[in-house]
Amino acid sequence: MPVTASTSSGEPLMIKAAVLTAVDTPLEVRDDIELAPPGPGEVKIKMGASGVCHSDLSVSNGTIPLPTPIVLGHEGAGTVVEVGEGVNGLAVGDHVVLSFVPNCRECYFCRRGQGYLCERGAMAAMGGLLDGTTRITSKGAPLHQMAMLGTFGQEAIVPEISCVKIDDDVPLKVAALIGCGVLTGVGAALNTADIHLGDTVAVIGCGGVGLNVIQGARIAGASEVIAIDRFDSKLEMAKQFGATRTVKAGDCVVLNPGESISLPAYCYHKFWGAEGKVLVGEVSAVNDDDTDNRFLDPLPRYSQIEEDEPPVYLLCTDYPDYYQA
C-alpha cells in the first residue's frame, strides 16, 4: 500500500521535526511539517523527550531499510493532547512511553503472550502507521514515521497501541529511555539470556543497552556482573548500574592450542591480573564499535581453539597490534 498523507478532517498543524531525506545524508530540521488529526485508534502526542539510539543511525546509513523521507526517532515519551475516534484506553493529559513494538492484544500472537510478534505491530517496519499511511507531510509531500512513531518531532500522531500509560510524576526525560534502551537491555537479560539467581554474567560494551543488560542481570539475581568496555567513563557508569567487576578492554592474553575457557572465567582471570591463557570466541564479532548490539546475541559462553591452530590473542581492543592469530 502506498504511503500517503491522511485526509482526515480538521486543520493541519505546523511543527518542527528532524527529517532524513535520503540515506547517508544529514538530518534536516524543518519547521514546515504539517500534522493531520489523529485517525481512528490514534492519538496525538506532544513529545516530552526523545533519546537518540543506534537504530536511528542504522536507518540513516541504510543498515535498517526504511523508506525516505522519514522522521526518525523511536525512543520517546510525551503527553496525549488529542485522541481519535475509538480510543478508549487513553485520554488527553495522559503521560505515555512510546513503544516501537506495539501490541494489539487481540491477534493470535498477542493472545499467546508473544506481543513482540504482533501481526498489526509488524506494520511498524513499513514506515507508516497501522493502515500504511502517515499523518505528516512537508511541502505537501508525505513523510514516513520510524516505527510508527517519529519521536524526532515536536508532536506525532501514533497508534494507541504504541502507547504505554505511565504515572504523571515520572519525568518524561527518564521515561523516554524505557522506550528502547531499557526494555532492550533489561529484556535481553531477563528473557533472552535467561539469567538465573547466582549466575556470573559478562557484559561486553557498556553503552545505553549494555548498562541496562547489567541492570537486568542484577534484577535477575546474578551474583557477579562483569562489565567490559574500552572507556573508563562507561565502566564507572557500569558500577552505578550494578556491575560487580569491571574490565578495561584492550589488553590481550594468549590462549594456547587446545586450551579453552569460558568468557566469565576470562574476565575473572583478567580482573585478578593472573598471567596466562585465555579466551577467544567470536573474536571479530566483539571487536566492533557497535559493541552494544552484541548483547542481542548469546554471549560466547565457551570458546576453544583447535589443537592445530596457533595461539590466538584476545579481542576487545582498538589496537591492531593485538590482532595476531
Considering the rule CB under 5 A, would residue 66 count as an interface residue with Zn ion? no
β-bridge mates for residue 5, sequence order = 134
Is residue 20 within the footprint of Zn ion (CB under 5 A)?
no
Q: Which of 104, 129, 130, 202 binds Zn ion (CB under 5 A)?
A: 104
Shortest Å distance, C-beta 203 to Zn ion: 18
**d(C-alpha 127, C-alpha 145), whole Å:** 5
As a whole number of angstroms, the distance between CA 24 and CA 69 comes to 12
The nearer residue to Zn ion, 49 or 107, going by C-beta atoms, is 107
Question: Contact 186/159 with Cβ under 8 angstroms?
Answer: no
Nearer to Zn ion, 203 or 315 (CB): 203
107 binds Zn ion, rule: CB under 5 A: yes
Span near Zn ion by CB under 5 A; candidates 102-110, 125-133, 204-212, 289-297: 102-110
Site for Zn ion contains 55 (CB under 5 A): yes
Contact segment (CB under 5 A) with Zn ion among 50-58, 199-207, 218-226, 309-317 equals 50-58
Contacts of 49 (CB under 8 A, 6+ apart): 76, 77, 78, 172, 173, 175, 176
Residue range at the interface with Zn ion (CB under 5 A); choices 80-88, 106-114, 146-154, 195-203: 106-114
The verdict on 180 binding Zn ion (CB under 5 A) reads: yes
Q: Looking at 38-46, 115-123, 223-231, 263-271, which segment touches Zn ion (CB under 5 A)?
A: 115-123
**Residue 57 beta carbon to Zn ion: minimum distance, rounded to whole angstroms:** 10
- Judged by CB under 5 A, does residue 117 bind Zn ion? no
Minimal distance in Å, beta carbon 55 to Zn ion? 4
The interface region with Zn ion, picked from 47-55, 76-84, 165-173, 317-325 by CB under 5 A, is: 47-55
Q: Coil, strand, or helix at residue 109?
A: helix
- Choose between 115 and 142: whose C-beta lies nearer to Zn ion: 115
Q: Considering the complex, what minimum distance in angstroms separates the CB of residue 241 from Zn ion?
A: 18
- Residue count, binding to Zn ion (CB under 5 A): 7
Q: What x/- string results for residues 208 through 237 when contact with Zn ion is judged by CB under 5 A?
A: ------------------------------
Distance of closest approach, residue 139 Cβ to Zn ion, in angstroms: 28
Which residues are CB-neighbours of 265 under 8 A, at least 6 positions away? none
Structural contact between residues 303 and 254, judged by C-beta atoms closer than 8 angstroms: no
Query: CB of 98: closest distance to Zn ion in angstroms?
Result: 11
Note whether 118 binds Zn ion by CB under 5 A.
yes
Residue from 186, 250, 199 nearest 225 by CA: 199
Please, which residues bridge with residue 136 across strands? 35, 143
| DSSP bridge partners of 292 | none
For residue 85 the three cell numbers come to: 475516534
Whole-number minimum distance, CB 84 to Zn ion, in Å? Answer: 19
Asked if residue 133 binds Zn ion (CB under 5 A), the reply is no
CB 73 within 8 Å of CB 18: yes
Q: Any contact of residue 110 with Zn ion (CB under 5 A)?
A: yes
Amino acid at residue number 278: V
Closer CB to Zn ion, residue 191 or residue 324? 191
Name the grid cell of 235. 565502566
What is the DSSP track for 259-319? -EEEHHHHHHHHHHT-------SSHHHHSSTTGGGGGGSPP--EEE--TTSPPEE--S-S-
Pairing of strands 163-166, 200-204: unpaired
Binding-site ranges for Zn ion (CB under 5 A): 53, 55, 104, 107, 110, 118, 180
